[in-house]
Structure 1
Amino acid sequence: MNEKALKSLEYYKIIQLLTEKASSPLGKELCRDLLPSVDLVQIQLMQAQTRDALSRLFQKGSISFGSVKDVRGSLKRLEIGSTLGIIELLSICSLLENTSRVKAYSRNERGDHPADSLDEMFEQLSPLTPLSAEIRRCILSEDEISDSASPGLLKVRRSMKIANDRIHTQLTSLVNGGARNYLQDAVITMRNGRYCIPVKAEYKGQVPGMIHDQSSTGSTLFIEPMAIVKLNNDIRELELQEQKEIEAVLAELSNQAAAYTDQIRDDLEIMVQLDFIFARASLAMDMNGTEPIFNTEHRIRLKQARHPLIPRKKAVPIDLRLGDDFDLLVVTGPNTGGKTVSLKTAGLLTLMGQAGLHIPAMDRSQLSVFHQVYADIGDEQSIEQSLSTFSSHMTNVVSFLKEADSDSLVLFDELGAGTDPTEGAALAISILSYLHEKGIRTMATTHYSELKVYALSTPGVENACCEFNVETLRPTYRLLIGVPGKSNAFAISSKLGLPDFIIEKAKQQISEQDESFEDVLTSLENSRVTIENERAQIEAYKEQIEALKKQLETKQERLDERRDKILKNANEEARRILAETKEYADQTMKLFHKFQKDHVDTAAVEKERQNIRARMNKADNALSIKAAPKEPKKKLSAKDLSLGDMVRILSMNLTGTISSRPDSKGFLFVQTGIIRSKVHISDLELVDEPVISSSALQKTGAGKIRMSKSSSVSTEINLLGKTVDEAIAILDKYLDDAYLAHLSKVRVVHGKGTGALRKGVHDYLRRNKRVASYRLGEFGEGDAGVTIVEFKK
């Protein structure tokens, strides 16, 4: 990739942000050396690694590779049989310990986590825990070896301690005994590694021994008493033995490490690669980046793309496409309207995608692999080279035309600017025509109306503009493809207070053809705004109609279910009555046959007949529906009703709850299921809610509990901003209500975000016995930020 495009598109600023995310020196080095690739297989692998690392960051949190130091030099020394120093062995130990933590990170809470592109790298890590534990046992710090590192070292240090104790005992007796009057201070000190006492110069003959030093004034001599000379010599010999034992410990540790040089080298390489990969994932998390889909047709489709160097709250997302039905896009519009930002966004996101980095755009955005990206952006004026702005731009254009081919992406900012407008426009059209004929994907920004006409009249070339609000004199930064832009110079000048007569005179200076063209653009812009507003209204109407349709379908399903239930109960009751009647008839016939055979008197027969009649009357009473005495309807007033009261709508024979206060004409809203109806207060009567009595509660004085249930269930629930635990509790209650309300399908809004909330919702739905199926929303339903849930019937 050519260096000029990387600088013009500010690619190295992205690399700087990436480098800051790496935690090890070698990982930072890989980040600094990252360049866009032209190998599609390599690009897709790097994108997959970034995606999988990002998924792990969302699930398990961050991971550090800060202890990964460059031990390649130490490994080479081990291979030739050298003994490593303390610091080198500690560096290897830190690498192995960090390798162990990373290995545990890959295993932690894996559960049903699907296999990904990083599994093999994690599995190849060899923590070599016994080696790192042995190094850590023997070496306590960069300056200290443990006493227990070897038996010989332990024995030597015990002897040193005994010798030191003897020296301190004898010196203490001198300092506190007969030599006290000869001393400058009653202290024990060391000079040249030997224990001494500070003796006044005039008494040096009173304390026999070896003089090792004197004070700066000469009044104090530091004398090693003869009584401890041998002990000091013993300590010096023990120190030499200690050093030999330490060297033996380091040699043994080096020999143990030398047996694993290949594994340690592999660990180093894998850890550095993982640091590099997780740095890319961390950058994607900061930018809210997504994985682009790559194609080989040189097609770019960016959805809600943002420039990564503009703060997220200030950046206005744009939709950009190139290479579908046109390969040349001419972007027009006023200054500071966002034309250059749109150009840079397309180029920079292409470079980022080919470097294996996620891009700040919506899911399913598409990029293609370009072997070269050429960018002529900004003021290229050079005083040192005696080049004007136009000359500098033309120098770049000449080099582009020589090297660009069908695998290139070419970006021009203000093509043809810096010279006579007529000649500049003609030259720009000629350059763009050449690139268009060669099928090279090209984007160019311009102010020239001639280029707008060229784009309108040439197949495969498309206009685009950056929207500008003339009323507020502010750009909206929205990129509108298919619409040529206006310069709006007259309108802006008028808004800023330029006198009308000057503007009118200026209008007279332009040709009728140019004025007519600007009028056409104005008409097109007005038509576009009108069409967009009408389209938004139509979409709103469609949503309302769809909601009403779903409500009617749900209501019809509930009515059908109620009808089927009534018919089923009626058939069962009829079957029971027929069976009971048959039994009565059989018993009666048997009884009368018995009476006739036994010659029973008439009185007994009549008595039995009366009993049968009584049983028949009882059955008739059970089947008959007695009309309850109707109480005279009480006329309700506004003070009789409160929000949430249960009422019956007389005209529709439906029960619901009050959801608004009556207006001045007596109309109010009643929620019946999922339908909210506006009715008059005269068409309502209060309904007592069912009461549940509990003997247990009566004992505690709680009395009766009034049942409460939700009177309406929405077909959508919004979980945005909730933690996973909060969302699952809310979702569980909502799905119960929706299922009881006989909704067939609901919409759960969880957003994209980190993906943790979406995963938690899907895990819960997978376990819910009432859920028949669920899926992510499609285009127009909310994409990956929404899940559609269908209940079992």
Structure 2
Amino acid sequence: MNNKALNVLEFGKIKTEIAKYLITSRGNTLLKKLMPMSVESIVQRLIDQTKDGMDIVRIKGEIPVRKLADLHDQANRLKKDGNLNGTELASIGEVLKNTSELKEFFEKLKDDQIDLRQLYELNENLIDNPTLTNRITKSVDDTGKVLDTASEDLKYIREQIGRLNEQIRNSMDKYVRGNNTKFLTESIVTLRDDRFVVPVKTEYRHKFGGVVHDQSASGQTLYIEPEAVVGLNNRLHDMQTSEKLEEIRILNELSDLVRPEIDDIVKNNEVLGQFDLINAKAKYAKEIKATEPIISKNHVVDMKNAKHPLINPDQVVANDITIGDDFKTMLITGPNTGGKTITMKTLGLLQAMAQAGLFIPAREESQIAVFDEIFVDIGDEQSIEQNLSTFSSHMDNIINIIRKVSDRSLVLIDELGAGTDPQEGAAIAIAILEKLAKSHCVIMATTHYPELKVFAYNTEDTINASMEFDEKSLKPTYRLLIGIPGSSNAFNIAARLGMDKEVVERGQSLMSGESQDLNNMITDLENRRKEFEKKNEDLKEQLAKNKEIQDNYEHKQVELDNSKESELQAAKVRANQIVSKSRKESDKIIDRLRKLEQSGIAVKEDQIISAKTGLKNLHQDETVKKNKVLKRNKHRQELKVGDEVKVLTYGQFGTIVRKDKNGQFEVQLGILKMKFDGNDLEKTDAKPEEETKKTMVRRTKSSGLSSKLDLRGKRYEEAMTELDSYIDSALLSGYNQVTIVHGFGTGVIRKGVTKYLQSNPRVKSFGYAPASSGGSGATIVDL
């Protein structure tokens, strides 16, 4: 893409903003090379990288890239068999350490199942070398100083140097204390030629003795190494020489280790620079609140709420910019300083940013096209050297554009045809637009010529647009209005500013009829647009109110349903309490009946069971007792005399022998005949095996009733009701012994079970289960 267009669009300023977030040398180099790409797959890859960077910045804060130097000089020296110093090796160590850190960082992202589009693949290009990394890390620090841990010899030498320094200082202390101080100009120990000396007054030179290493500028002080420390200083100097030689040996050894790996290390540095740039692009996108641009499949630009990124965000006006679908040429008209040029630059700059893989300051899901070139003719670009006029300069640019334009180009022309006679300028502008349109490129142009408004109206794939102007405040709003040509508003502005009415009317009368008609048409369109926008706002407001009313209705409906359900539940609980109370009364009646029977008065067992069944049917379960679908299916059964049925209330099987006038069925249950409602019967083909007893029907466990009742987790009222029903069913099923599981818990259910069993005359005996069968958490009942 041509640099001239990027310079006019100020793409370089965007890169300057991104550079603030870079920390590596290679990152800065890559940013300087950053250009919009014209291959769709490359553009998408760059956008994906920025998207990954945005996700990492959002989740982790940033990609952990260190401050890294460029390694090309070090690489060249190593390839020429040269060796590196400590600082250069430290730079290589930083790259190796950062490589290991990023490999680990992305592994953790994988473990956390963070989805990334491109950066996992980019991370695979990093080549980790833990052995070399550890060796350099323990040999040199971040500043390039060779560490004691680089070798055992170096550690020993430095320990000896430390001891000698201490010995020398101890020996020198006697010269700076006591009587000897009178020979010194200062009571200090200092260094000259890497040897410890003391400052001695010149007149005491012979009395003090030792080796003179230096003299003050005034000649009044001699820096003398006392004879007592000469030997120690000699040894110290030798050890220091050994230290330097060992450091050189270590650096040379490290250089030899790095030499065969340098190409991989340089590649790592390049990848780390890419991560640094991706990091910076993501942070810049976050700063300007940018979103991911979507590449249009149909080569259409559709930017929603697009903003120019270099304008103060508190002042910039967002615009919807759409071009390339229903129309490929947009002519923007309207007064100067209305925002035409900024709108054009916004389109061009955001396209360039997106094609360079940057996010754009626009609403999410905004679409961009991938252009092979962006051609720009904006502003006064006359060349002083060539002595070209403004018109000539623009024509020169446009001629070059016409020669190079293709169907995948974006052309931006400001003030098309300006700088010459208006009539000729309008004519040449129309001719230029027609020529450019033949190449099927996308064009945005600005103009003042009314003839071009008519041209846009009558030309296929071309549309008028304008920048809105507030006639009341006489200020532009900077809003782009697509489909409506602009007006200069010269007469309105002049009149509102106080121009004499006669002057304004005379000026209007001098306008041609066509111009008057055109302005009247524009005014009418503008009035209609404002009327439509007002109605649209009113409709939106009404829609919001309707939505609020609907939400309130739905909320109240939910509350009503919940209230209804709560009332039903409460009513069932109250009904069950009444039934429970009635059941206790019935138990007393039945007990009296049994006592009468024991006294010799005959009472039929079926009368007792019938009474209990009637009470049992009064009890409502607090959940839906039976599935409605099953009820309907059951009602559809045609029960008739002779059918084998199952009595659902007791789980017993019998035969229908009669149907009375009330619609109840008389069922033979062994030797008993009992009446049931049709809802309590279920037709069955299987006729179970029966055992007949003298006084009541007894069945084996094939009846389906378990010999164990589990009451754990139930409420007290529910548990007692279920226990009473179960004992009745167990008696009818012929069980001699059953188990009641009530658990330990608070003991409330257990006490209730004991109390009930004590009061039930059909219970022969009961007691806690053995320890192996639940202990005091279960009760064995003999019936």
Q: TM-score, normalised by structure 2?
A: 0.70
CA distance in 1 between partners of 2:587 and 2:136 (Å): 100
Residue 65 (structure 2) pairs with residue 62 (structure 1): no
Looking at structure 1, the residues matched to 594 and 141 of structure 2 have their Cα atoms a distance apart, in angstroms, of 112
Which digits, 9 at most, give the CA deviation of each residue in 1:480-532, with x for residues without a partner? 11111111111011111111111011011111221122111111111110111
Report how far residue 231 of structure 1 moved: 3.5
Structure 1 residue 492 corresponds to structure 2 residue 504: no
Measure the CA separation in 2 of the matches of 1:430 and 1:515.
24
CA contact under 8 A between 2:85 and 2:144: conserved in structure 1? no
Q: CA deviation at 1:79?
A: 5.2
1:41 to 2:44 alignment: no
2:74 maps to 74
- Say if 2:348 is the partner of 1:347: yes
- 2:594 and 2:189 map into 1 onto residues whose CA distance is 135
What residue identity is the alignment partner of 1:3?
N
What aligned pairs does 1:79-478 form with structure 2 within 5 A after superposition?
82-106=82-106, 111-125=112-126, 128=129, 131-140=132-141, 142=143, 144-173=145-174, 182-258=183-259, 260-478=261-479
Work out the number of aligned pairs and report it.
610
In structure 2, do the counterparts of structure 1 residues 596 and 224 end up closer, same or farther at CA, with 3 Å as the change threshold?
closer
Gaps of 5+ in 2: 604-610, 619-783
Q: Is the 8 A contact 2:26 2:270 kept in 1?
A: no
Q: Is the 8 A contact 1:183 1:197 kept in 2?
A: yes
Report the equivalent of 2:25: 25
Counterpart amino acid of 2:425? G
Q: Is the 8 A contact 1:298 1:441 kept in 2?
A: no
Once the two structures are TM-superposed, the CA of residue 50 in structure 1 deviates from its matched residue by 0.3
Tell me the SS of whatever aligns to 2:313. Answer: coil
Q: 1:27-68: CA deviations, max 9, x gaps?
A: 011111111111110000000110110111111213563521
- Give, in whole Å, the separation in 2 of the partners of 1:429 and 1:278: 46
Structure 1 portions without partners, runs of 5+: 605-611, 620-793
CA distance in 2, matches of 1:182, 1:552: 106
Partners of 2:593 and 2:157 lie apart in 1 by: 123
Pair 1:174–1:460, CA change in 2 (3 A): closer
C-alpha contact (below 8 Å) 2:51/2:282 kept by paired residues: yes
Q: Which residue of structure 2 aligns with residue 502 of structure 1?
A: 503
Change (3 A) 1:121 1:200: same
Q: CA RMSD in A?
A: 3.8
Moved more, 254-263 or 25-34: 254-263
Q: State the 1:274 CA deviation.
A: 0.2
**CA positional deviation for 1:263:** 4.4
Query: 235-244 or 441-450: which moved more?
Result: 235-244
- Residue 21 of structure 1 aligns to a residue whose secondary structure is coil
Query: How far apart are 1:567 and its partner, in Å?
Result: 7.5
Identity, in percent, stands at 37
CA contact (8 A) 2:469 2:477 kept: yes
Paired letter, 2:517: S
Q: Deviations along 1:549-572, whole A, 9 cap, x unmatched?
A: 444455556656766787898899
SS at match of 1:459: coil
Distance 1:357 1:126 in 2: 27
- Which whole-Å CA distance do the structure 2 matches of 1:141 and 1:560 have between them? 71
CA shift, 1:253, in A, is 3.3
Shift in CA distance, 600/510, structure 1 to aligned 2, threshold 3 Å: same
Distance 2:199 2:581 in 1: 125
The 3 A distance-change label for structure 1 pair 52 and 187 is closer
Structure 1 counterpart of 2:763: none
After superposition, give the CA deviation of every residue in 1:570-597 in whole Å (9 maximum; x if it has no partner): 8999999999999999998998899799
Which deviates more from structure 2 when the two are superposed, residues 542-551 or residues 399-408? 542-551
Distance 2:113 2:234 in 1: 68
Give CA-to-partner distance per residue, 1:683-717, whole Å, 9 cap, x none.
xxxxxxxxxxxxxxxxxxxxxxxxxxxxxxxxxxx
**1:98, CA displacement in angstroms?**
3.5
Q: Residues 214-236 of structure 1, C-alpha deviation per residue, up to 9 Å, x if partnerless?
A: 23233333344444444333332
Distance 1:575 1:501, change over 3 A: same
Decide whether the 8 Å contact of 2:416 with 2:429 is kept in 1.
Answer: yes
- The higher radius of gyration belongs to 2
Question: Contact 1:19–1:32 (CA<8 Å) still a contact in 2?
Answer: no
Gap change, CA 1:7 and 1:197, over 3 Å in 2? closer
TM-superposed deviation, 1:296: 4.7
Alpha carbons of structure 1 residues 460 and 186: separation in structure 2 relative to 1, 3 Å:
closer
Task: Give me the whole-angstrom Cα distance separating, in 2, the residues matched to 1:166 and 1:566.
Answer: 98
Q: Give the structure 2 partner of residue 698 of structure 1.
A: none
The structure-2 alpha-carbon separation of the partners of 1:573 and 1:503, relative to structure 1 and needing over 3 Å to count, comes to same
The residue number in structure 2 matching 1:516 is 517
Separation in 2 of the partners of 1:173 and 1:111? 67
Deviates most, 94-103 or 354-363 = 94-103
| CA-CA distance at 1:411 after TM superposition | 1.0
**Alpha carbons of structure 1 residues 54 and 156: separation in structure 2 relative to 1, 3 Å:** same
User: How far off is 1:409 after superposition?
Assistant: 0.9
Alignment check: 8 A CA contact 2:176 2:188 kept = yes
Partner residue in 1 for 2:658? none
The alpha carbon displacement at 1:336 in A equals: 1.1
Q: Is the 8 A contact 1:86 1:250 kept in 2?
A: yes
Deviation (angstroms), 1:181 = 5.5
Distance 2:219 2:558 in 1: 112
For 2:220 and 2:583, locate their aligned partners in 1 and report how far apart those are by CA, in whole Å: 137
Amino acid across the alignment from 1:277: I
Deviation at 1:321, TM superposition (A): 0.8
